[in-house]
């Protein structure tokens, strides 16, 4: 089997798992929770359970497999790696499970942390598939597959480090015509455990008045050790207009979501026990569709006003001439 084919299958698995919600995915099998956090000491064995629900109209056999995972790029998508080392080798779970139709089953598993395990984060996933694991290369054949992430923290000397590498508007723009504004920041984790930054982005207008405060990590995304993750956060509640929108659609949208002038955005996030990172960006908002209508409207009002003044002046002159006669 080629490496590209294996990578393609792992990508499929990653996509399927990323669609898991806390109660499972829209398929015949529900697994809960979709993510389990565990803490243990070196040499300790921890027993946990997860719930399976067979939503099919027939009994079904599911096969289990365990794979380590690491960060794939900066999107937060996990890259699953079949391995006989690391957390995947510490997890013990039954090879297969038969679930009757509509049945809910609690499945136990154990995590046996070696005595000399490194402190910090270790990450794996337990998968359930209708297809048995392949005996060649430890890979899993393509089939209906769902999984649960295991986020293990081995207690010991934890190292914390990292912070915001960059912060600004999406595509590095500094000028926009309307809300919403899409902020992007990249966060690096140089520690040995996963990092979960918490904080806010404070937006101020030209006068320095606080305009809005938004959550910097609304999805509570994690950054794995030794990796960088890219976060996108939107300011503005209304959905962007479609490309087919007409001129006056833009005018109404800009009026409902009015913003004008120079703005600053300051991100302030905390991570770990004492970590903090701050960064600032500036951008300019000019709703030109709305401003064009306002300018044209003011010009028309001014022209009408000047015309009325001229007529009034002529009338005054005529009245004065009539009285002088």
Check residue 325 and give its pLDDT: 63
Check residue 313 and give its pLDDT: 84
Shared-domain flag, residues 190 and 135: no
Q: Which of 105, 134, 154 is the last residue of a domain?
A: 154
Tell me if 145 is assigned to some domain.
Answer: yes
Tell me if 218 is assigned to some domain.
Answer: yes
Tell me if 270 is assigned to some domain.
Answer: yes
Shared-domain flag, residues 178 and 269: yes
Tell me if 183 is assigned to some domain.
Answer: yes
Express each pLDDT in 156-190 by its tens digit. Answer: 999 999 999 999 999 999 999 999 999 999 999 99
Q: Which of 124, 154, 184 is the last residue of a domain?
A: 154
* Spans of the chain below 70 pLDDT: 1-27, 134-144, 325
Shared-domain flag, residues 69 and 200: no
Measured distance CA(100)–CA(60) in Å, rounded: 6
CB neighbour list of residue 296: distance below 8 Å, 6 or more residues apart: none
Shared-domain flag, residues 211 and 124: no
Check residue 27 and give its pLDDT: 56
Shared-domain flag, residues 264 and 172: yes
Check residue 143 and give its pLDDT: 59
Tell me if 272 is assigned to some domain.
Answer: yes
Domain count, the chain: 2
CB-count exposure of residue 13 (10 Å: 0-12, 13-18, 19+):
buried
Please name which of 208, 276, 203, 207 lies closest in space to residue 234, comparing C-alpha atoms. Answer: 203
Domain that holds residue 241: 162-286
Shared-domain flag, residues 121 and 188: no
Return the CATH number at 213.
Answer: 2.70.50.60
C-alpha separations of 89 from 35, 92, 116, 154 in Å: 18, 8, 14, 15
Helix then strand then coil, in percent of the chain rounded to 5, is 20, 45, 35
Shared-domain flag, residues 128 and 244: no
Tell me if 315 is assigned to some domain.
Answer: no
Check residue 82 and give its pLDDT: 86
Instruction: Report the SS3 class of residue 1.
Output: coil
Q: Which of 128, 154, 180 is the last residue of a domain?
A: 154
Shared-domain flag, residues 142 and 202: no
8 A C-beta contact, residue 99 and residue 62: yes
Shared-domain flag, residues 203 and 148: no
Check residue 311 and give its pLDDT: 87
Shared-domain flag, residues 78 and 186: no
Shared-domain flag, residues 34 and 120: yes
Express each pLDDT in 5-63 by its tens digit. Answer: 434 444 434 434 443 433 333 358 899 999 999 999 999 999 999 999 999 889 999 99
pTM for the model: 0.77
Shared-domain flag, residues 205 and 282: yes
8 A C-beta contact, residue 90 and residue 38: no
Tell me if 307 is assigned to some domain.
Answer: no
Check residue 172 and give its pLDDT: 93
């Amino acid at each position: 089997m080629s490496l590209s084919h294996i990578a393609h299958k792992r990508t499929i698995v990653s996509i399927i798992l990323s669609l898991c919600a806390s109660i499972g995915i829209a398929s015949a099998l529900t697994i809960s929770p979709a993510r389990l956090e565990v803490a243990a000491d070196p040499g300790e064995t921890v027993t946990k359970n997860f719930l399976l629900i067979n939503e099919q109209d027939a009994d079904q056999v599911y096969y289990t497999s365990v794979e380590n995972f690491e960060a794939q790029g900066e999107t937060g998508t996990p890259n699953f790696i079949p391995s006989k080392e690391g957390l995947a080798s510490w997890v013990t779970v039954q090879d297969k499970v038969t679930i009757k139709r509509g049945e809910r089953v609690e499945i136990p598993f154990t995590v046996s942390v070696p005595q000399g395990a490194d402190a910090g984060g270790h990450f794996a996933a337990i998968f359930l598939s209708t297809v048995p694991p392949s005996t060649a290369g430890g890979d899993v054949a393509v089939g209906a597959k769902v999984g649960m992430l295991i986020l293990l923290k081995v207690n010991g000397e934890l190292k914390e480090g990292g912070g915001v590498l960059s912060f600004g508007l999406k595509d590095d723009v500094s000028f926009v015509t309307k809300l919403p504004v899409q902020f992007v920041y990249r966060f690096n984790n140089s520690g040995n455990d996963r990092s979960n930054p918490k904080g806010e982005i404070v937006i101020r207008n030209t006068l320095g008045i606080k305009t809005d405060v938004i959550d910097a990590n609304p999805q509570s995304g994690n950054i794995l050790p030794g990796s960088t993750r890219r976060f996108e956060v939107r300011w503005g509640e209304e959905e962007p207009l479609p490309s087919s929108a007409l001129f006056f659609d833009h005018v109404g949208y800009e009026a409902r979501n009015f913003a004008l002038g120079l703005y600053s955005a300051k991100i302030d996030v905390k991570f770990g026990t004492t970590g903090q990172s701050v960064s600032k960006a500036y951008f300019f908002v000019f709703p030109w569709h709305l401003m064009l209508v306002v300018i044209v409207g003011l010009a028309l009002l001014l022209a009408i006003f000047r015309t009325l003044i001229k007529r009034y002046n002529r009338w005054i002159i005529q009245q004065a001439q009539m009285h002088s006669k």
